[in-house]
Amino acid sequence: MPQDITPQPHAGITQLHTYVPGKPIEDLKRELGLEHIIKLASNENPLGTSPAAQAALSRFDGALYRYPDGAGYDIKQRLAAEHGVDPTQITLGNGSDDVLELTARVFLGPGRNAVISQHAFAVYPIVTQAVNGEVREVAALDAAAEMPYGHDLAAMREAIDENTGVVFMASPNNPTGTWLSNAALTAFLESVPPHVVVVLDQAYIEYQTIEAAPPVAAWLARFPNLIVTRTFSKIYGMAALRFGYGLASSTITDYLNRVRAPFNVNTLAMHCALAALDDTDFITHSVTSNTAERDALARELAARGLPCLPSQANFLTFDTGGDARETYEAMLRAGVIVRPLAGYGLAQHLRVTVGSAEDNAVFLAALDRVLDR
């Protein structure tokens, strides 16, 4: 055997880059020796974890030496009642990213493509290329559009061909915050050929105030090729526990469960998610607070000549007017972690999570110093 031959990954892997998450607070502490740091980089809930989930965690006295319930009986019953679907329509995930990955493993692979908008969530191309599928990136709407940088549904429909396995889309979308109207989404779903799975990622749907999304059950009854994903990482404040799920037809759900790791969701995550689902006060309060703070923050940024993209999520993406890298790094030195978006094709923009009123004030003060305003 020649000595210089090392194991080579398949072609999809060679084109992949490792996902770069929002910088952890501990990293910045270590690197700069800073004491007071605020992180507005990963769209976590500034109000923390649902108190009901936190209390359930403290009270937990279950058997940690046993495997979790791989079928997730209790939480599926609860989610089924919540959405008016059958438990056989629910796929549990170790975060909703897990459900995205299961989708790619089932419906993508060599010879198949995924249609994805430009400036969409980074996990979609990762899970596609991980199974050696083709990423078919569709140009987003332009900066002057009514929904700047939003998904161009007509162009996405055009990009679909007989080898398309999945269309991934998020509404509200990360990292732009832009959204799709119910009418536009419905028309799109009607136009998609039935062999194509449409993943509608609703990680931020609870924060949307402009228009109530139709009940998932009604959409699923009409569109047997639809997968809707939800997460407990954002508004429920449970990002560390890793819990999300997918809703789809029983047929699609069966396929997804064939490739799911048997114990992908841990016991504590399911236990806390059950409690969080009853914590409607926390959700209502989180939405009210986010809406008020998001509006206030958008006004403050606009007043500084830093226009934001329209957002229905819990973050704002704004144009720095130049290369955002320097602003990002200067903000780090000021103890404020935001999210640079060059990897998303938005090198001039930064994304900031809507924090508490206090956090947002610290962020704005730091930004003023950094930009010398």
Ligand X SMILES: *Cc1c(COP(=O)(O)O)cnc(C)c1O
| Least distance in angstroms from the C-beta of 94 to ligand X | 8
Radius of gyration of the chain (CA): 21
| Least distance in angstroms from the C-beta of 263 to ligand X | 17
What crossing angle do the helices spanning 51-59 and 267-277 adopt, rounded to 10°?
140
- In the bound state with ligand X, the residue whose beta carbon lies nearer, of 228 and 366, is 228
| Least distance in angstroms from the C-beta of 309 to ligand X | 15
Cα separation, 305 vs 299, whole angstroms: 10
Of 161-169, 177-185, 231-239, 316-324: span binding ligand X (CB under 6 A): 231-239
CB-based contacts of 44-47 (< 8 A; 24+ apart in sequence): 44/233, 44/234, 44/237, 44/239, 44/353, 45/234, 45/235, 45/236, 45/237, 45/286, 45/314, 46/289, 46/353, 46/354, 46/355, 46/356, 46/359, 47/237, 47/282, 47/285, 47/286, 47/289, 47/356
- In the bound state with ligand X, the residue whose beta carbon lies nearer, of 114 and 170, is 170
Considering only 68, 72, 95, 165, the residue that binds ligand X (CB under 6 A) is: 95
Site residues for ligand X, 185-204, by CB under 6 A, read: 201, 203
- In the bound state with ligand X, the residue whose beta carbon lies nearer, of 147 and 366, is 147
DSSP 225: T
- In the bound state with ligand X, the residue whose beta carbon lies nearer, of 201 and 206, is 201
Of 95-103, 183-191, 206-214, 352-360: span binding ligand X (CB under 6 A): 95-103
Binding mask 97-126 for ligand X (x = CB under 6 A): x-----------------------x-----
Cα separation, 147 vs 57, whole angstroms: 41
- In the bound state with ligand X, the residue whose beta carbon lies nearer, of 96 and 113, is 96
- In the bound state with ligand X, the residue whose beta carbon lies nearer, of 129 and 231, is 231
130 binds ligand X (CB under 6 A): no
Binding mask 10-49 for ligand X (x = CB under 6 A): ---------------------------------x------
Considering only 57, 187, 239, 371, the residue that binds ligand X (CB under 6 A) is: 239
Q: Which residues pair with 337 in a beta bridge?
A: 39
236 binds ligand X (CB under 6 A): no
Distances (CA, A) of 129 to 16, 151, 200: 7, 21, 19
Cα separation, 171 vs 191, whole angstroms: 18
Cα separation, 313 vs 297, whole angstroms: 13
| Least distance in angstroms from the C-beta of 264 to ligand X | 12
174 binds ligand X (CB under 6 A): yes
Distances (CA, A) of 291 to 217, 264, 309: 27, 34, 15
Site residues for ligand X, 268-327, by CB under 6 A, read: none
- In the bound state with ligand X, the residue whose beta carbon lies nearer, of 174 and 178, is 174
- In the bound state with ligand X, the residue whose beta carbon lies nearer, of 249 and 314, is 314
Considering only 156, 170, 199, 272, the residue that binds ligand X (CB under 6 A) is: 170
Considering only 96, 208, 253, 311, the residue that binds ligand X (CB under 6 A) is: 96
Q: Which residue is nearest to ligand X (CB)?
A: 95
CB within 8 A of 30, min separation 6: which ones? none
- In the bound state with ligand X, the residue whose beta carbon lies nearer, of 170 and 247, is 170
What burial class does residue 367 get, using C-beta atoms within 10 Å of its C-beta: 0-12 exposed, 13-18 middle, 19+ buried? buried
Q: Nearest to residue 156, comparing CAs of 186, 118, 127, 110?
A: 118
- In the bound state with ligand X, the residue whose beta carbon lies nearer, of 83 and 334, is 83
Residue holding tokens 């200067």?
A: 330
359 binds ligand X (CB under 6 A): no
The alpha carbon of residue 187 and the mean position of all alpha carbons in its chain are separated, in whole angstroms, by 23
206 binds ligand X (CB under 6 A): no
Cα separation, 316 vs 264, whole angstroms: 32
Which spans of this chain sit near ligand X (rule: CB under 6 A)? 43, 95-97, 121, 170, 174, 201, 203, 231, 233-234, 239, 244
